[in-house]
Structure formats: structure tokens, C-alpha cells
Structure 1
């Protein structure tokens, strides 16, 4: 066959690499391709997939679950069936966690003991009373545990701060009265300089010796403040009476403030200074 004839022949059919599967459902998809059977060399560790159907808080919780799930009478427990189901669960737990199964094994021994005592004829009581049921102690413990468990659920259903609601916090000013700034010595000194400056503007040429009592001026200041809520600091001085009287008046004001009979206040920085009585009659 020559080259021209070989080129005229159609190309050979391409084999389909997809699996020829009919009437089967893919169990999974790997990289977008259907997977109809598990690989033979796939290794799955025994603990890779574990499903815990129930989580119990202890042996009593497991016993109560078995009894309530099958609607057994808790006062007449069928020990054979309950013990069989309990031992089956303990065997599964022991295969996975031996330390966790220790507490369950102790209850299993108690169940087997109760079951064996029920198989034996009851020992006659010394006083002729009916012998006690071997299940009585177990029933008492189960009833107490169920009451505690229901009470815990009821408490958990109550609204809790931080889980169901948040506590509202509002800042309330403790003192509603306005807090006036404290009068500093510098403010008093500046006010005193201003009074001296105004007093020097009025000059008297009469040379006399005037004796002024500080106590009398203190009484005059208190009389001037009577019936008035605030009096400006400068109103307490009479520049027309000279510097001596202004000095005595200033000393009287300081003495009254020292004895806490008057209060010297100021609304804000660089504001006028006011004087008022420390005790305001009703």
C-alpha cells in the first residue's frame, strides 16, 4: 500500500476510557468521575468513622435511658432485659475506652447481683414482715437521679444573664447639685489687687486716726449677706472709705471664711467671685 492510499483510510476508532457500567448507581464521585466500586488498596483506620448515638453522664443516666425508652415501669424493672442491654452498651464502651468503662462496670456488677438475688428464694424476715425487694435501692437511686435531672433542666431553661439577656447599665450622676469650681488663692489675690486699685482712686486729705474693729466689720458683712443668695465679692468693699477700711474688710472676709460662716464661690474660671452665707435659713 502506497502512502496516498494509507492517507485515504479513515483513522482507527478511539477507545472510550469511561467505565462501561449499566444499571448501576455510583457510590461516590472522585474528581468529578463516578466511582462504582471501592478501590481494593483503600485502607480505612478502625477509628476513622465513629458515630455516638447517645451520650450519657453516668451509669444511672444510661439505666434511666434504657427504662424510659422502652416504657418499663421503674417500680417493676425487668432486670434480665435491662441487664442484657446495659452489658451490651458497656461492652462497646470498654472496647474503646477502658477508663471510662470502669464506672459502668461497677453498676453492671450491681445489676448482676440484683438479678441473682431475684433468682434465689427470698430469705424469711426475723419479724415476719415481707422481705425487701432487691431492686428497692436501685429504684430509689433512679428516682432521685431523675428528679435531680428534671430540676437541672428546669433551672437551665430559666433565662440566664450573659446567655439569654444582658444586664442594662446606666450611669446616673450621684450629685444633681452643680459643682462650682474652687476659688484659689491666686483668684483672691487678683480680686484684692483690683479693690486696692479702685480704693486708690479716691484720696482723702483729712488726717485722722480711725479705729476699725474687725469683729464689727465681720458683723456688717454678715448683715449684708442676710436675705441675699449671692453677693459679689467687690460689693462688700466701700472704696470711698479708703484703703484702711478695705484692708479690714478683707481680713473680716477671710476670718468668716476660716470659721466656715461664709462660702466664697465662683461659677467658672475667670468669672466674678461671689460670697454667700454658709447656712441658708429656710
Structure 2
């Protein structure tokens, strides 16, 4: 008898019966099935099996010729047509719409065979008439070439089917790249130097010969052995605005000749100058 729970309900055994797998007909969701369901509907076409699949009438005809090692240039139409019609009768019982394409080829084969049975007629110029099978042979050879080429293409590796595109994450270089100095930032720094020079300017009337080349050498010597030098440190406001102008022109000339680099760490940051090359 089944055990009764506290509320009086009967508790059934949860575990399925232990049966040897050889007795069960099948397994449904992991459970053994010992009898076929009586309400199971199996469509008539569900168990239909195709022994050979062809892509069209020419494919079937080529298959029959190659299977029996017939010479494609000398096709025995009687044997091939008989086998062809046997296959067409099978598919006509199952799918009349599909068989219509094959029936057209069957009619062509019968027509070619009938022309071969009739005495050949010479052409108007007295030449031998063309073999009735010539056009069919040409179509078969062209189809076979295309089929072989398609098979070769199918054997080539295909992305997504035979291999996958490799995706590798490459870390960016850890060397920081300083942004280029904006011309407006350079102009603002220069104007600020001019203002500071005017504050420290002494009213001395004198004539001084200033050389841009000489100040280019001074700037290069100032940068020698230094990794970075602040832009303002290259100028001496106490020497007056004339020296500042010549020094600034010398620095621009060196930058144009790619002998020094003007850079800054970020926008609105201090401007630095360094040599464009590292001495050995």
C-alpha cells in the first residue's frame, strides 16, 4: 500500500522503475520508453530515404555514365535511357513537380535515339551529318567541368567554416607621446616673456650687435646634457627685449632645422625644450 502523508495524501514513488536498457524501446528525455505511444502520428514522408541526391537531369545522366565507365563521347543511349527512365519513374511517384525536369531530359534522350535509328541525311554541301549525340555530349562535358571546379572551390578553406580570424589584443606602447605645441600657446608664452622683460628693463641707450647664429649656439650649449629645459629658462629678461627677440628667433631656427623639439606634457601645461638628438 502507498504511504500516507500527514494530510492524508498518497505519496507515490518518485524513482522510475529500474529496467535493463536492452528492454526499453527508446529513451525520452533520459527516461526509458517501454511502449510506443498510441496517439503518435508519423507523416507518410517522414521515413522517406533518398539513396542518391542529384542537382538536376544533367547530374543524373552524368552519374549513370560515369558509374558504368561509359565513354562520354560514345554514349550507349539505349542502356542509359532505360536506367534514366527507371529513376524518373521512382521520383514521379513521390514528387511529380520535381520529375517534370527529368521528363524533359528523358524526352530528349528518346528523340536522340530515334534520330540515330533513322538513316543519316547528308548536308547540302555533301558533308557527313553531325552525330545527334554531339550537343548532349558538349553539355555534359561543360557541366562536368563546372562541377569539378565547384568541388575544388568547396575544398578551399572558408572563413567561419574551416578557420576563424585571429583576434589578438596588442598593448599600446607605454612610451608617452607628448602633444604638439600649439602656435597660440607658444605665442602666449612669448608675450608673457616680453611683459616680464619690460618690467625688468633698464633704460640704457646702447648699440649692440646681436647674431642669431651665436644665440643658436648658446641655446644648444644650454640644452646640452639636459633632458628637458623649461621654455622660460632659455631666456634672460634682464638683458632686454632685443636679446629675447634674437634668442627666440634662434630657437625657432633650431626647431625648423630639427635640432631641438618643443613639447609639453598636456594642454595648458608648461612648455619644455629639448635636443632632438641624444649625443653618444
TM-score tier, shorter chain, comes to: 0.5 to 0.7
Mapped to 2, the partners of 1:180 and 1:74 lie a distance apart of 75
Mapped to 2, the partners of 1:183 and 1:128 lie a distance apart of 93
Q: Give the SS at the match of 1:275.
A: strand
Match of 1:236 in 2: 234
Change in Cα spacing, 1:104 to 1:210, as seen in structure 2 (3 Å) is farther
Mapped to 1, the partners of 2:167 and 2:46 lie a distance apart of 50
Deviates more, 1:248-257 or 1:49-58: 248-257
Match of 1:23 in 2: none
Deviation at 1:86, TM superposition (A): 1.6
Q: Give the SS at the match of 2:272.
A: strand
Q: Give the SS at the match of 1:76.
A: coil
Among 240, 249, 267, the alignment partner of 2:244 is 249
Q: Which runs of 5+ in 1 are unaligned?
A: 1-25
Q: Would you say the 8 A contact 1:59–1:103 is kept in 2?
A: yes
Deviation at 1:59, TM superposition (A): 1.0
Q: Would you say the 8 A contact 2:123–2:129 is kept in 1?
A: yes
Change in Cα spacing, 1:84 to 1:211, as seen in structure 2 (3 Å) is farther
Mapped to 2, the partners of 1:253 and 1:43 lie a distance apart of 96
Change in Cα spacing, 1:259 to 1:173, as seen in structure 2 (3 Å) is farther
Match of 2:204 in 1: 209
How many residue pairs get matched?
Answer: 241
Deviates more, 1:183-192 or 1:69-78: 183-192
Deviation at 1:62, TM superposition (A): 0.6
Match of 1:139 in 2: 137
Change in Cα spacing, 1:60 to 1:116, as seen in structure 2 (3 Å) is same
Structure with bigger gyration radius? 1
Q: Give the SS at the match of 1:265.
A: strand
Query: Aligned-pair RMSD on alpha carbons?
Result: 4.9
Q: Would you say the 8 A contact 1:93–1:100 is kept in 2?
A: yes
Matched, 1:222 2:216: yes
Change in Cα spacing, 1:259 to 1:139, as seen in structure 2 (3 Å) is same
Deviation at 1:127, TM superposition (A): 4.7
Q: Would you say the 8 A contact 1:212–1:248 is kept in 2?
A: no
